[in-house]
Amino acid sequence: MEPGSGSGPGRWGPVSCVLTGASRGFGRSLARLLAPRFGEGSVLLLLARSAAALAELAAELRGSAAGLRVECVAADLGCEQGLRQATAALREVLPAGPPGRLLVVNNAGSLGDISKSFLDLTDPDEINSYFAFNVTSALCLTSIALQAFGKRPGSSRTVVNISSLCALKPFKSWALYCSGKASRDMMFQVLALEEPDIRVLNYAPGPLDTDMQLLARTKTGDPEMRQHFQSLQESRKLIDCTVSAQKLVNLLEEDTFPSGAHVDFYDI
C-alpha cells in the first residue's frame, strides 16, 4: 500500500477495509490506528463475535475520521451461518466502496484447547471446528472480499494475515494453533504467487499482552511451555497491542516487503 500524499489525517485516501477479530486486543488497537488514516468516503467493515464491543468501537471510530462509514458484523466465523452472514456483508458493502484501495486484515483466530497434547486430539468435530474458524473462514472471506471489490483500474489491493512464530516453529501442546497458523501462511503465499498485483503480508505481531496470552500461561498442558509464557509476563516481555499494530501500519505505509513474506515484529 503506497503512502498517501501528505502526512495528516486521511492520508491514505479512500480505502475499503475489512478487519476480522476487531472487537478486542490487537484487532481493536489496529482499527484505532487505521481509521484516522482513511480519507473521506472510506468504508471500514468490522467483524467479531461480540456485538456490544463492536458497536462501542464503531461509535468511537466514526468520530475519528471525517466521512468514514463503519459497518459491523457480529458473527461466529467458525460456523456456516456466521460465515454466510459475513460474506453477505462483504458482497453488499465492498462493491459500493471507494475505488482507491482495498485492505483485508485476517486477524480473527483462536488457540484451541492447549491443555491437550497431540495424542489427546482424537475428536474430529473438535479439530474440524478449529480449522473451520482459523483457516476456512480466512480463505473464504479473503477470496470473497477480493471478488466483491474486483479489479479496478488504478486501485491497489492488500491482504494481511496476522500470523505467529508458531507458523514456523512447533510448540508442545499447541498442535492445533501451530498447524492452523502454518496453514494460513502457506495459503496466503499461494495467493501472492497467483495474483502478483495483490500485495500479501504475513505479519507475526510478537507475544502480545492479551487474553490469549493469559490463556497461554494458565492453560497450556506442557509445564515447560506454560513456564515459558509465565516468564514472558514476569519479565515484562509481552508487547502492547498498540505498539505492534503501529509496526504493521508502518510496514503497510512503507510497502517494501516482498509479497507473501512472513515478517515478525522483532524483524523490524
Q: What's the sign of the alpha-carbon dihedral 84, 24, 136, 266? A: positive
Q: What is the pLDDT of residues 176-185, one digit of tens each?
A: 999 999 999 9
Q: What secondary structure letter does DSSP report for 132?
A: I
Which residue in the block uniquely carries the three cell numbers 468504508?
43
- Report all structural domains of the chain as residue ranges with CATH numbers, in order of start: 15-206+241-261 (3.40.50.720)
Which phi and psi (to 5°) does residue 110 adopt? Answer: -140, 160
Strands 43-48 and 261-264 come out as: unpaired
- List residues bridging with 203 in a β-sheet: 162, 263
What pTM was estimated for this model as a whole?
0.96
Which residue in the block uniquely carries the three cell numbers 468516503?
41
Q: What is the pLDDT of residues 176-229, one digit of tens each?
A: 999 999 999 999 999 999 999 999 999 999 999 999 999 999 999 999 999 999
Rounded to 10°, the helix 137-149/175-194 angle is 20
Burial 59-84 (b: 16+ CB within 10 A, else e): eebeebbeebbbbbbbbbbbeeebbe
